[in-house]
Amino acid sequence: MSNDPKSSPTGLRRNLASHGDPGFSLFLRKAFIKAAGFSDDALDRPIVGITNTFSDFNPCHGNVPRLIEAVKRGVMLAGGLPMEFPTISIHESFANPTSMFLRNLMAIDTEEMIRAQPMDAVVLIGGCDKTVPAQLMAAVSADVPAIQLITGPMLVGYHKGEMLGACTDCRRLWGQHRAGAMDQDEVEVVSGRLAPTQGTCMVMGTASTMGCLVEALGIALPGSGSIPATHADRIRAAEASGRQAVKLAKGGPRPSELLTEAAFRNSMVVLQAIGGSTNGLVHLAAIARRSGIRIDLEEFDRIGRQVPVLVDLKPSGANYMEHFHWAGGVPRLLQELRDHLALDAATVTGETIGAIADRAEDIPGQTIIRSRANPVKATGSMAVLRGNLAPSGAVIKHAAASPELLQHTGRAVVFDSVEDLVTRIDDPDLDVAADDILVLRNAGPKGAPGMPEAGYLPIPKKLAQAGVKDMVRISDARMSGTAFGTIVLHIAPESATGGPLGLVQNGDLILLDVSERRLELLVSEDELERRARDWRPPAHLSEEVRGYRGLYLRSVLQADEGCDFDFC
Ligand code: FES
């Protein structure tokens, strides 16, 4: 290996630490890496970075050590030098106040570690909801050739002979417990059966959605997004990703060349067809924004009117990710969606999306990936709503809603914050009826802060015990992709920044009309102007706040822009 740092900008010579003498910087770097036992031969090879997002606090990433081992094997078999490095890891249930608050921090961490360290390509290993979006945001900004490797979904569990999975069934069974139909002992037993293996939630929640979208974006190996976390195929996909990364390290496409307008359009088609998570839309907007592309919510809505839901998975359908995988996964779905896709979009393998669709395996008798002649739902899973309550848009996953509530006018029952909701929702004296509309505000990106998954407001206990299963619920919050119900989310602008949601009062009438894409507060303009004059932002937005929380509160954007930081 030459000591001349100008002979090649690759491998160990990339991104030298600044000492005012590049030759000395390289000399020092070699000295320290030799201290780790590397030989000169190893140091002449292309370097593939591998993110290590293992954490005892992240069971969805429990298989990461084995995946890293396999990626390294693939890199070495292809003649590269694998270098593992740690980044932040985030799990949905272990991040306070909410994982979304930390997504941008993980994106910044990952981006800067890719930029700072010498790597010619990077394998991004992620899975739990916020990790894959954060890694893709980072990859776009760092623009080093990258390949995404998903940790993979869990296998299903069983309780009393019924197939179960996280977390659509977590919510359904918890709802039964709240309604008094499942006692404490049984709910404890169930908590040990809903998530029976390592890996990510195995319904079409946010993690599964992102697993599909990375294939649609062309930045993961075809078919790799849906392989269960515990299967040998998952390990082989890791090895293959390592091999592919070495090809990328020698001049493969960069994220900026893969993540084009066509790739984002393809991903919107797939998001509608899989019955995907509403969070997927926020994350796509953030990743696209880093690419200088704006996700057009109207276009997303138009796609939803044309593209049916074809994948029969919970919460829109009945099955789980392992069933989708064995039915042919994303490649088989792409084949069914051919007419809606930009078939010449490039992928990380060098194949086009069209070529991947063409060679998808046809599984005789499978019923999970439907034909367009026999869809799960005739239109896509999500709609974008507008109206005087949501001037910059709101989203509803109507595929997982109650059809009879999709056109509904009801009386508002308002909760001023997540804390207010927790305090009063089960109050027996709460003035609420089944045909009212539950309103939650100050739960958006700045208001909560962190835009928690609080949009799935629980049915008030007294109504749940009376058998009410669904109500119209609206908020500026998010909801888990695993949830279901007639739930309007992501109202923008959020109430904490002066959005009209902040002007709703108990007893106002609200109109939801999904076929007309309308969300209206039926109060006169004069009255709304009067209320706006009296409106004040939440106290925490006028305080001096230090550290990451201060950075977040000053910089986070609204949901329609992906909740990224304005300076990213
Ligand atoms: Fe990690 Fe559901 S909690 S994917």
Determine the atom of ligand 1 nearest the C-alpha atom of 208.
Answer: 4
pLDDT for residue 3: 41
- Comma-separated ranges of CATH 3.50.30.80 domains in the chain: 383-561
**Residue 129 Cβ contacting ligand 1 at under 6 Å:** yes
Phi, psi of 416, deg, nearest 5: -80, -15
Helix, strand, coil abundance in the chain, percent, nearest 5: 40, 15, 45
**Residue 202 Cβ contacting ligand 1 at under 6 Å:** no
Ligand 1 center to 195 CA (angstroms): 10
**What would the pLDDT profile of 205-245 be if each residue is shown by its tens digit?**
999 999 999 999 999 999 999 999 999 999 999 999 999 99
- Per DSSP, the chain holds a count of helices (H) and strands (E) of 20, 14
Would you say residue 5 has pLDDT above 70? no
Ligand 1 center to 128 CA (angstroms): 5
**What would the pLDDT profile of 121-167 be if each residue is shown by its tens digit?**
999 999 999 999 999 999 999 999 999 999 999 999 999 999 999 98
Ligand 1 center to 63 CA (angstroms): 14
Best of 91, 203, 321 for a ligand 1 pocket test (most atoms within 8 Å of beta carbon): 91
**Residue 92 Cβ contacting ligand 1 at under 6 Å:** yes
**Residue 453 Cβ contacting ligand 1 at under 6 Å:** no
**Residue 91 Cβ contacting ligand 1 at under 6 Å:** yes
Report pTM: 0.95
**What would the pLDDT profile of 273-289 be if each residue is shown by its tens digit?**
999 999 999 999 999 99
Would you say residue 56 has pLDDT above 50? yes
Q: Which of 472, 478, 502 is nearest to 490 (CA)?
A: 478
**What would the pLDDT profile of 509-562 be if each residue is shown by its tens digit?**
999 999 999 999 999 999 999 999 999 999 999 899 999 999 999 999 999 999
Percentage with pLDDT > 70 across the chain = 99
Best of 60, 170, 480 for a ligand 1 pocket test (most atoms within 8 Å of beta carbon): 60
Mean pLDDT of 433-455: 97
The CATH superfamily holding the domain 383-561 is IlvD/EDD C-terminal domain-like (3.50.30.80)
pLDDT for residue 149: 98
Enumerate the β-bridge partners of residue 396: 383, 488
Best of 125, 201, 210, 479 for a ligand 1 pocket test (most atoms within 8 Å of beta carbon): 201
Would you say residue 7 has pLDDT above 60? no
**What would the pLDDT profile of 313-349 be if each residue is shown by its tens digit?**
998 889 999 999 999 999 999 999 999 999 999 999 9
**Residue 200 Cβ contacting ligand 1 at under 6 Å:** yes
Determine the atom of ligand 1 nearest the C-alpha atom of 91.
Answer: 1
Residues 6+ apart with CB under 8 A from 290: 137, 140, 141, 564, 568
Best of 58, 89, 129 for a ligand 1 pocket test (most atoms within 8 Å of beta carbon): 129
Determine the atom of ligand 1 nearest the C-alpha atom of 58.
Answer: 1
Nearest CA to ligand 1 atom 3: 92
Ligand 1 center to 62 CA (angstroms): 11
Mean of the per-residue pLDDT values of the chain: 95
Give DSSP secondary structure letters for 98-112.
-HHHHHHHHHHHHHH
Residues 6+ apart with CB under 8 A from 436: 410, 411, 412, 413, 471
pLDDT for residue 8: 57
pLDDT for residue 345: 98
Would you say residue 92 has pLDDT above 60? yes
Q: Which residue has the tokens 């298989």?
A: 63
Q: Which amino acid is at 162?
A: E
**Residue 61 Cβ contacting ligand 1 at under 6 Å:** no
CA distance 476 to 489: 6
136, 148 Cβ separation under 8 angstroms: yes
Would you say residue 265 has pLDDT above 70? yes
Ligand 1 center to 129 CA (angstroms): 6
Would you say residue 363 has pLDDT above 60? yes
